[in-house]
Amino acid sequence: MSLRIDNVSKSYGDTTVLEPLSWTAEKGEILAVVGPSGSGKSTLLNLINLSVQPTTGTIHLDGEDLTALSRRRLRDARRKIGTAFQSAALFQRRTVSANVALPLEYLGVEKTQMAEQAASLIKRVGLAERADYYPGQLSGGQKQRVGIARALALNPHVLLADEITSGLDPATTTSILDLIKDLRDELELTVVLVTHEMDVVRAVADKVLYLEEGKVLEYDTATALLRNPLSHVGSQLLNWGQGADGFSSHVDSAGLLDVLYVSDRVPRTWVGDLTVRFNTDVELIEALVEPIRDQQFGRARIRIGDVEKIPAIKTHLAAEGIAVIRDGAE
């Protein structure tokens, strides 16, 4: 099962809000869609569930072209796509159970079966003891859990999550993201997650699509973007010092190198090893190792005493799996 977008665009008259784009999210993947306000993120979600028709292109779910379906068949196919909204969009006069059961109610599911399915979903999102509560009695994170449970009511293959952690405190955000990952694994969901928070991307994204002014500027796996810190997304994901801004904080950039590596593949003594191997002073100016996407990424800024040896040092570092991402002499 997969979700594939081929050459999809959206225009209103002479105004293009989303230029042609193509991407694929496989079963069990979380694709994060990021970008500034007005970049087309919400439009993309509306196109995926076909609440808005694309101007060009096709949308394939599990190999079926949704844009080619009749109205009746499309209605059935859209049940495979669930959506969780930023504000949870709950009905205040309905209990948690009644809110979760709403899609089943619209579908005409028998009451006993509907109650059983709702109870199962509520338990799955950790709110079994609050099934009879009303939204006004819930915290922001609990409301979001109800919204997620409702989005899963029709057993979708795809979950669209629109800014579901916006406005939540860090601890609650973490719990919601853990829930999304658990549901992804248990239900083998494809998740398309719209967010403006890079911490969210760092925590859960398998792939990242960066939009700006309706254009795709970057699209790749999260790991590939992390390995390219000069990319827009990579520099924000790493969030280390001045990153791609270079060595402007140093008056003399001669001999400076910025490097990136996956720390578990590189010996801790690599800086000292350079000193011994090349018989030159190597000063460690700045360094950081942090866990991202289940890997330990390290970044460091070093100064080489003998600048004539930098080409040989760069060749050696590359062979050791340490990428030089900025050379102060260049």
Return the C-alpha torsion angle 272, 288, 181, 215, nearest 10. -110
Q: Give the Cα separation of 171 and 191 in Å (integer).
A: 21
Give which of 277, 270, 319, 275 is closest to 299, Cα–Cα: 270
Residue 240 has a pLDDT of 54
Q: Tokens for 57, please give them.
A: 């292109």
DSSP-based three-state secondary structure for 205: coil
128-137, 221-230, 275-284, range with the lowest pLDDT: 221-230
Q: Tokens for 56, please give them.
A: 């060009």
CA 32 to chain centre: 3
Share of the chain above pLDDT 70, in %: 94
> What angle in degrees, to the nearest 10, is found between the helix axes of 96-107 and 140-151?
20
Residue 288 has a pLDDT of 82
Q: What confidence tier does 68 reach under pLDDT thresholds 50, 70, 90? A: very high
Q: Tokens for 314, please give them.
A: 């760069």
Give which of 276, 285, 274, 260 is closest to 310, Cα–Cα: 274
Identity of the residue numbered 192: V
Residue 249 has a pLDDT of 57
Residue 302 has a pLDDT of 93
Summarize the confidence of residues 195-202 as an average pLDDT.
90
Q: What confidence tier does 245 reach under pLDDT thresholds 50, 70, 90? A: very low
List of domains in the chain: 2-235 (3.40.50.300), 248-327 (3.30.70.260)
pLDDT above 70 for 301: yes
Q: Give the Cα separation of 9 and 47 in Å (integer).
A: 9
Residue 244 has a pLDDT of 44
Q: DSSP H helical segments within 156-269, as ranges? A: 170-187, 198-204, 222-226, 232-238
Q: Give the Cα separation of 232 and 40 in Å (integer).
A: 17
To which H or E segment does residue 317 belong? helix 310-319
Q: Across all residues in the chain, what is the average pLDDT?
A: 89
Q: What confidence tier does 212 reach under pLDDT thresholds 50, 70, 90? A: very high
Q: What confidence tier does 252 reach under pLDDT thresholds 50, 70, 90? A: low
The half-sphere exposure of 305 on its side-chain side, counting CA atoms within 13 A, is 10
81 DSSP β-pair partners:
158
Chain position carrying tokens 């490097």:
259
